Structure 1
């Protein structure tokens, strides 16, 4: 199975109004790892807060960025049916990827995303450790070397190492495929995708929960 670890940096939090400004992927297939990292020139100024958080500037997007259309084409080519897509807080990244594809492939976007498998490491982590559950918390929890967080390619590399640690801790990640946990207090952020099973998931403070009590088995 082809596996893609991915992360996005965006111009804001609105899945429809804002855009991806950096897309990073580690594409694992047939024992090889391909690294993909591109800025996207969105044709507008970034909010100062986004530059402050990510370090990405308007100049970066203008001088190093690719058109959104070319990124959509790259995604269409890489996101082949049956690929496993892994992200930390996958609902967020899936939503942005979907709307990017929808802008350029309105008739194909739904089929592209529904023919993939999706794994959210935040959902897994909530069954593995106490709050908080950010990527940096997982990195520290599993003793992984820290990276430049809030840059997509560095977050993707950290994510890859976190997933290996999760597998070594308990090999049940397949049970979480296409299952996203959400905090009942806030509900699901963004669109509810019909191919994802959304389950209520509360914070817990016991660390690694027993196998018969993990979210997929509830």
Structure 2
């Protein structure tokens, strides 16, 4: 299956009050991760009136993206049409798709666009099916469980998380086909 695996970093947890500060994505074609077909950008956070937003200290501690890093980055209004073009009519995959898709839907609505991927797949849900006796299914634990590792400095950065999520997605599909 051909899909786009994506990940967002944000200023917080609310799609309505918080902003996206980074988007990373990679295309998976015929079961292969196509590193040459990737999308990666920082995003300057602004509120619904277009005023700059600061990245809260707690969020910066998670993803390491500072206000200085996004100061000259494009705003979501410029980034979103590009990203939607990159996704095109593909299905999308994310780790905890509800979070990422919620931010994409809210931002698309704000900018008069539509978030309409062909389908949405969640590696958390796939992990729960593959490892039904396990309680933890966060990306760090799943990576360890599958023997995957993050590039140095890659955890909690969009493209670093995307690389591991894409690998996990392919391995989980393989595992679930065997179990079926």
Q: TM over 0.5, yes or no?
A: yes
Pairing partner for 1:55 from 64, 75, 83: 64
Pairing partner for 1:36 from 35, 39, 58: 39
Number of aligned residues: 167
| Root-mean-square deviation (Å) | 1.9
Pairing partner for 1:141 from 126, 142, 145: 145
Do the aligned residues in 1 keep the contact of 2:28 with 2:166 (CA within 8 Å)?
Answer: no
SS in structure 2 opposite 1:127? Answer: helix
Deviations 1:24-47 (A, max 9, x none): 000234774412110111122111
> Residue 132 in 1 paired to residue 140 in 2?
no
**Which runs of structure 2 are paired with 1:1-218 in the superposition (5 Å)?**
2-29=2-29, 32-33=34-35, 34-42=37-45, 43-63=52-72, 65-81=73-89, 83-105=90-112, 108-109=113-114, 112-113=115-116, 115-129=117-131, 130-147=134-151, 148-171=154-177, 211=180
Distance in 2, Cα, partners of 1:171 & 1:27: 21
Distance in 1, Cα, partners of 2:127 & 2:176: 11
Distance in 1, Cα, partners of 2:62 & 2:123: 22
Gap runs ≥5 in structure 1: 173-209, 212-218
**Greater relative contact order (Cα 8 A, min sep 6): structure 1 or 2?**
2
Distance in 2, Cα, partners of 1:15 & 1:58: 19
Distance in 1, Cα, partners of 2:144 & 2:19: 30
Alpha-carbon distance change, 165 to 29 in structure 1, aligned in 2, over 3 angstroms: closer
Larger radius of gyration: 1
Runs of 4+ aligned residues of structure 1 deviating over 6 Å after TM superposition are none
Q: TM-score w.r.t. structure 2 length?
A: 0.85
Shift of 1:61: 0.5
Q: TM-score w.r.t. structure 1 length?
A: 0.71
